[in-house]
């Protein structure tokens, strides 16, 4: 076990997103989608260079591409690793380890975001800022659909870690968001695990926790390990703020350390399906802990994602990650 | 506590798996044949019980079963079960990243050896401890060490040393595989070496143990490889090769879902493994369904339920358990209150007065008085089935003779009723009883009465988990309504059963697992098509749920859709074995009973509906509006006034050919 205290990582927030115009970064990277949270922040953001990554799963046509910033477009069929590695190869960022870089995680698709974080560490960056903007609400409240049609369930490339043959005490920690069908998919994929739901609490907005529970409970036939009664049982639930990657990582760590002491965990699977901020937290936990535990990040991949699922721009968060 | 809360074997501990084990009336051992030399493929739908059965034959459960007699009992069993769940190996990581199948095959072969070695050595360690460290000598350890192509850094002086070495190699391989993405095609790192050749631990280690240690003489090393569907195709090809070339005392039992066998190919000169020659097939849910006829499946299911109840603290006899479920009984219903079916007939006949669409059907229009006379003649609230049969007789007459003869027919019915002559009605009832009853309930009570334990068993269609899921939800509903389910004083109401079945049928449907929209749309349309027929005024068959594709030369796409529907247990084939052929012609199917209530279909296996080419075209390929038109045609054909059926049918003979 590592002795990292994730809660000491630096973070700050502000209510007026236009403040991002005061920033002075060398490079700003964002993944394009329809959300004003993504487009407005990109427009205002203060940086020497600004890059849009167009992810194939949003299925944008060239005519729909944004007119500001440098565009990096990727064809469908590429893996999350191919997209991110190709981006860095195409972007040819000089002296990247000395650049002041900020990445907007709001529009990223989760597996790409996870691989991006892993890859930044591989590239040797010591410090990167991530930005995340809270929505005011989801478009259709708890009925919001995020992804369609799961086409594959597998480990995220580069996060495959180590697996041991003894699977008598395997755990699956699911960042349980609104997308209950994907929770179903991943719970069925790793059915022989004790499933733990990590819920965003406090949630991004007051009513979202309730909506989240309602939605996630639809998958409980598969995702509640010890029958329905265990769905919200303390032994099977982790709570972490929906917009705090560091506390998310810390809460996962504390939970895993505790369970590992009770009975050695044989394999741990992490599956970030909740907010992007928590997804970042899952990635950080994996980065710092994967050498000491048999661990991997798994994901139910979809062929396409909805371009916009939220309404309004709420708080903006900056997270500073030091690898 | 809900006795049926846990529905999956994977959510049980080994202890629970042992505690909840129920053997089949013909013991599973006779079918699984753990000491047989022939490998076996165990196929089954989701929830059919593969994992529970395979785990039962594993060393972990042998140990729990036999306690202090383990060593002698294993000798009696004649095998040691080494259970391997394929999902654990995370096979997808041994793929792509810019490398071809040959590259990955060599890594996967190596990794599989490390895994099988680890599983086997853990069992050996356990047996050695139980034997008082008498089994594994230094000499044996040395011989195991010699199986490795590269000598370990630390000599093996205990089984722990072997396990430690295997874990180091496991980590090395995993790390190498993980980091290949970053090396972008420049290959494995220079210091990465393959330490052991293929089959050394799969075949040579069991051989060594068998020949060198007396205890293992004549013991079979039985690899129980579960969840085969989680391997990639080339990985299955490798295991198929092992299965084909197995060497005594190793043998394999492979468990997979119906859709899980991605290939039967091997790496042995491109030979395929063949049933009968290289493996025996045990189709679990089919076996259960076939055992339904002589009551063995019911007996098995009852025991499962009683075992569950006992563990939850409910001590009921089978009879008490069965009687817990209220069963719908028409005789206990106050039928005077319900007359929707009569009203429907009256409305239909009244339509003749005003309708222009019936022009040409008959010159004889009915007056209001005549309609009242007909209704009065056929009404027989003393026996709702007779009354429903009377309505059917009226409809038959109209279909045959138009409206010219309907008054005469109703008078005849009236006369027969007065004379207590119900021969004609009884003929209908003997054939259509369930349909008349279901129609009556649907028209008057707004539900189809799927009630009683036997109904639940039928609905499970050879998939025990479906039944457990229904019971779980029934318990929840009944508990919520304070019915004290499964306590001695308790009773589970019709309402609780119906609510639970409605909810859980939908949930099972969503959970069967295929997400191909065209496949699911096909299934839903077949359901709607059969539902339309079943609840028509003159159903073409009784107890509709089975259909036959009366079509030759179906396209590859259609064949594939039906294969998926069968593989994922949305449909169940009811053809005789001799009728099962690779194409679809004349094969008969029914909807999985667990999802049949979504379309209010019968659970009986009686009438077979033929689906012709144009109907199938419409079901599979048409736009939603066109499919609705097709349903409308069916509706007109089998419902009052039956007038447009023939003429309209002609207009929808599609040009489309496969």
Banded pLDDT at A143 (limits 50, 70, 90) = low
**Which chain B residue has the Cα nearest residue A189?**
B87
**Chain B environment of A226 (Cβ under 8 Å):** 5-6, 11
- Mean pLDDT to the nearest integer, A85-109: 96
Residue B655: per-residue pLDDT: 28
**Chain A environment of B475 (Cβ under 8 Å):** none
Q: What is the pLDDT of residues B231-278, one digit of tens each?
A: 999 999 999 999 999 999 999 999 999 999 999 999 998 789 999 999
How many Å apart are CA B442 and CA B448, to the nearest integer?
5
Cross-chain CB nearest to A155 (options B93, B122, B167): B93
B171/A228 Cβ within 8 A = no
**Chain B environment of A154 (Cβ under 8 Å):** 90, 92-93
- Mean pLDDT to the nearest integer, A2-27: 93
Dihedral (C-alpha) B350, B352, B354, B355: value to the nearest 10 degrees? 130
B88/A165 Cβ within 8 A = yes
Residue showing tokens 């970042």: A280
Interface test with B, best of A148, A153, A187, A227 (most B CBs within 10 A): A227
Distance from the Cα of B185 to chain A's closest Cα (Å) equals: 12
Residues 169-188 of A with CB under 8 A from B: 170, 184, 188
Cα–Cα distances (Å) from B295 to A270, B47, B459, B464, B560, in that order, read 45, 20, 15, 15, 34
Q: How many CB atoms lie within 10 A of CB B30?
A: 8
- Contact yes or no for A183/A217 (Cβ under 8 A): no
The crossing angle, in degrees rounded to 10, of helices B296-311 and B464-480 is 50
Distance from the Cα of B384 to chain A's closest Cα (Å) equals: 41
Residue showing tokens 């259609």: B558
Residue B577: per-residue pLDDT: 55
Q: What is the pLDDT of residues B157-212, one digit of tens each?
A: 999 999 999 999 999 999 999 999 998 778 899 999 999 999 999 999 999 999 99
How many Å apart are CA B581 and CA B579, to the nearest integer?
6
Distance from the Cα of A165 to chain B's closest Cα (Å) equals: 6
Cross-strand pairs, A23: none
Q: How far apart are the first and last CA of chain B?
A: 55
**Which chain A residue has the Cα nearest residue B171?**
A162
A2 Cβ partners below 8 Å, 6+ apart? A253, A288, A289, A292
Q: How far apart are the first and last CA of chain A?
A: 17
Chain A to chain B Cβ contacts (< 8 Å)? 89
> In sequence order, which ranges of chain A are alpha helices (DSSP H)?
36-44, 80-91, 110-123, 180-189, 208-216, 220-223, 245-262, 276-289
Does residue B469 sit at the A interface (CB-CB below 8 Å)? Answer: yes
Cross-chain CB nearest to B92 (options A85, A155, A267): A155
B174/A192 Cβ within 8 A = no
Residue B143: per-residue pLDDT: 98
B5/A167 Cβ within 8 A = no
Does residue B174 sit at the A interface (CB-CB below 8 Å)? Answer: yes
pLDDT at A231 over 50: yes
A162/B88 Cβ within 8 A = no
Residue showing tokens 């005011």: A136
pLDDT at A293 over 90: yes
Burial tier of B100 (Cβ tally within 10 Å: 0-12, 13-18, 19+)? exposed
If one compares A138 and A181, the residue with the highest pLDDT of the two is A181
For A2-27, letters b (16+ CB in 10 Å) and e give eebebeebebeeeeebeebeebebbb
Q: Are strands A10-14 and A316-322 parallel, antiparallel or unpaired?
A: antiparallel
Sign of CA dihedral B70, B72, B77, B78: positive
B2/A155 Cβ within 8 A = no
- Compute the radius of gyration of chain B from its Cα atoms: 31
How many Å apart are CA B251 and CA B646, to the nearest integer?
61
Strand residue runs (E) in chain A = 10-14, 25-31, 47-54, 70-73, 101-104, 127-133, 137-138, 147-155, 171-175, 194-200, 237-240, 268-272, 295-305, 310-311, 316-322
B515/A229 Cβ within 8 A = no
Residue B645: per-residue pLDDT: 36
B12 Cβ partners below 8 Å, 6+ apart? B6, B20, B52
Sign of CA dihedral B371, B372, B373, B375: positive
Q: In the numeric block, which tokens belong to residue A120?
A: 């930044």
Q: In the numeric block, which tokens belong to residue B658?
A: 């496969």
Interface test with B, best of A221, A223, A300 (most B CBs within 10 A): A221
How many Å apart are CA B509 and CA B196, to the nearest integer?
46
**Chain A environment of B88 (Cβ under 8 Å):** 163, 165, 167, 170, 192, 267
Cross-chain CB nearest to B6 (options A122, A162, A227): A227
- Contact yes or no for B321/B453 (Cβ under 8 A): yes
The ranges of chain B with pLDDT < 70 are: 352-365, 576-583, 643-658
How many Å apart are CA B38 and CA B31, to the nearest integer?
12
Cross-chain CB nearest to A167 (options B85, B92, B179): B85
Q: How many CB atoms lie within 10 A of CB B434?
A: 18
Q: Are strands B588-591 and A237-240 parallel, antiparallel or unpaired?
A: unpaired
How many Å apart are CA B598 and CA B602, to the nearest integer?
11
- Mean pLDDT to the nearest integer, A216-230: 86
**Chain A environment of B85 (Cβ under 8 Å):** 167, 192
Distance from the Cα of A192 to chain B's closest Cα (Å) equals: 5
Burial tier of B307 (Cβ tally within 10 Å: 0-12, 13-18, 19+)? middle
> In sequence order, which ranges of B312-419 are alpha helices (DSSP H)?
318-323, 340-354, 368-378, 384-401, 406-418
- Helix, strand, or coil here: B168? helix
Does residue A300 sit at the B interface (CB-CB below 8 Å)? Answer: no
Residue B354: per-residue pLDDT: 61
């Amino acid at each position: 076990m590592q002795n990292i205290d994730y809660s000491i990582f630096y973070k700050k927030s502000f209510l007026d997103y236009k403040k991002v115009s005061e920033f002075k970064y060398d490079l700003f990277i964002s993944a394009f989608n329809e959300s004003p949270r993504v487009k407005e922040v990109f427009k205002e953001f203060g940086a020497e260079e600004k890059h849009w990554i167009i992810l194939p799963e949003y299925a944008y046509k060239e005519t729909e591409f944004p007119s500001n910033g440098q565009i990096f477009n990727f064809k469908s069929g590429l893996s999350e690793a191919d997209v991110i590695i190709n981006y860095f190869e195409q972007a040819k960022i000089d002296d990247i380890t000395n650049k002041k870089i900020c990445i907007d995680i709001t529009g990223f698709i989760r597996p790409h975001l996870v691989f991006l974080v892993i890859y930044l560490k591989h590239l040797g960056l010591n410090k990167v800022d991530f930005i995340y903007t809270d929505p005011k609400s989801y478009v259709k409240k708890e009925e919001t659909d995020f992804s369609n049609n799961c086409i594959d369930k597998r480990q995220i490339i580069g996060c495959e870690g180590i697996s041991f043959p003894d699977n008598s005490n395997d755990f699956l920690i699911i960042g349980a968001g609104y997308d209950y069908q994907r929770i179903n998919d991943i719970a069925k994929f790793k059915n022989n695990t004790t499933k733990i739901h990590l819920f965003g609490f406090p949630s991004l907005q007051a009513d979202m926790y309730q909506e989240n529970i309602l939605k996630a409970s639809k998958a409980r036939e598969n995702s509640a390990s010890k029958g329905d009664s265990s769905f919200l049982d303390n032994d099977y639930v982790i709570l972490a703020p929906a917009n705090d990657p560091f506390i998310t990582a810390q809460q996962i760590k504390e939970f895993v350390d505790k369970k590992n002491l009770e009975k050695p965990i044989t394999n741990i699977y992490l599956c970030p399906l909740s907010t992007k901020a928590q997804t970042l937290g899952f990635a950080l936990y994996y980065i710092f802990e994967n050498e000491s535990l048999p661990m991997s990040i798994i994901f139910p991949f979809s062929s396409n994602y909805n371009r916009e699922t939220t309404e309004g721009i709420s708080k903006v968060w900056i997270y500073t990650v030091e690898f | 506590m809900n006795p049926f809360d846990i529905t999956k074997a994977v959510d049980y501990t080994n202890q629970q798996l042992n505690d909840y084990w129920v053997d089949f009336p013909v013991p599973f051992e006779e079918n699984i044949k753990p000491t047989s030399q022939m490998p076996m493929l165990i196929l089954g739908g989701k929830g059919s019980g593969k994992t529970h059965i395979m785990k039962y034959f594993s060393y972990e459960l042998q140990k729990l079963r036999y306690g202090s007699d383990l060593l002698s009992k294993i000798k009696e069993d004649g095998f040691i079960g080494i259970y391997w769940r394929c999902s654990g190996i995370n096979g997808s990581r041994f793929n792509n990243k810019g490398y071809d199948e040959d590259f990955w095959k060599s890594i996967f072969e190596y990794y599989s050896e490390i895994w099988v070695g680890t599983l086997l050595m853990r069992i050996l360690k356990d047996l050695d401890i139980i034997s008082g460290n008498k089994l594994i000598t230094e000499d044996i350890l040395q011989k195991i060490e010699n199986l490795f192509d590269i000598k370990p850094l630390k000599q093996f002086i205990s089984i722990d040393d072997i396990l430690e070495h295997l874990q180091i190699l496991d980590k090395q391989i995993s790390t190498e595989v993980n980091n290949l993405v970053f090396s972008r095609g420049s290959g494995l790192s220079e210091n990465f070496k393959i330490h052991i050749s293929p089959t050394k631990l799969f075949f040579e280690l069991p051989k060594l143990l068998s020949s060198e240690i007396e205890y293992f003489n004549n013991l079979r090393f039985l690899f129980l490889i579960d969840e085969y569907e989680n391997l990639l195709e080339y990985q299955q090809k490798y295991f198929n090769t092992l299965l084909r070339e197995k060497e005594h005392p190793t043998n394999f039992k492979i468990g997979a879902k119906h859709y899980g066998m991605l290939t039967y190919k091997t790496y042995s000169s491109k030979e395929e493994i063949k049933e009968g020659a290289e493996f025996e097939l045990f189709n679990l849910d089919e076996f259960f369904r076939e055992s339904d006829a002589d009551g063995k499946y019911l007996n098995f299911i009852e025991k499962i339920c009683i075992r569950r109840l006992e563990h939850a603290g409910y001590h009921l006899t089978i009879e008490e358990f069965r009687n817990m479920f209220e069963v719908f009984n028409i005789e206990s219903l106050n039928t005077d209150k319900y007359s929707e079916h009569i009203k429907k007939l009256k409305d239909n006949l009244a339509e003749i007065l005003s309708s222009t669409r019936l022009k040409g059907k008959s010159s004889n229009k009915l007056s209001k008085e005549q309609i009242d006379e007909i209704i009065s003649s056929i009404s027989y609230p003393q026996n709702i089935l007779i009354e429903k049969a009377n309505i059917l007789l009226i409809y038959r007459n109209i279909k045959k003779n138009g409206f010219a003869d309907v008054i005469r027919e109703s008078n005849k019915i009236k006369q027969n009723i007065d004379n207590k002559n119900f021969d004609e009605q009884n003929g209908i009832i003997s054939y259509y009883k369930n349909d008349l009853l279901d129609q009556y309930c649907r028209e008057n009570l707004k539900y189809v009465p799927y009630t009683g334990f036997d109904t639940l068993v039928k609905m499970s269609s050879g998939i025990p988990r479906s039944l457990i899921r229904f019971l779980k939800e029934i318990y929840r509903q009944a508990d919520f309504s304070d019915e004290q389910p499964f306590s001695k004083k308790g009773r589970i109401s019709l309402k609780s059963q119906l609510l639970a079945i409605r909810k859980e049928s939908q949930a099972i449907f969503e959970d069967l697992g295929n997400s191909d929209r065209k496949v699911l749309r096909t299934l839903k349309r077949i359901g709607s098509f059969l539902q339309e027929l079943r609840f028509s005024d003159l159903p073409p068959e009784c107890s509709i749920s089975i259909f036959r594709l009366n079509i030759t030369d179906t396209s590859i796409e259609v064949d594939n859709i039906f294969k998926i529907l069968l593989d994922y247990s949305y449909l169940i084939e009811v053809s005789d074995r001799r009728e099962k052929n690779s194409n679809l012609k004349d094969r008969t199917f029914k909807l999985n009973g667990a999802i049949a209530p979504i379309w209010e279909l019968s659970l009986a296996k009686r009438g077979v509906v033929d689906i012709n080419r144009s109907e199938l075209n419409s079901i599979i390929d048409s736009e939603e509006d066109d499919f609705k038109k097709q349903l409308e045609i069916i509706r007109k054909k089998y419902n009052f006034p039956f007038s447009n059926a023939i003429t309209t049918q002609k207009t929808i003979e599609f040009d489309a050919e496969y």
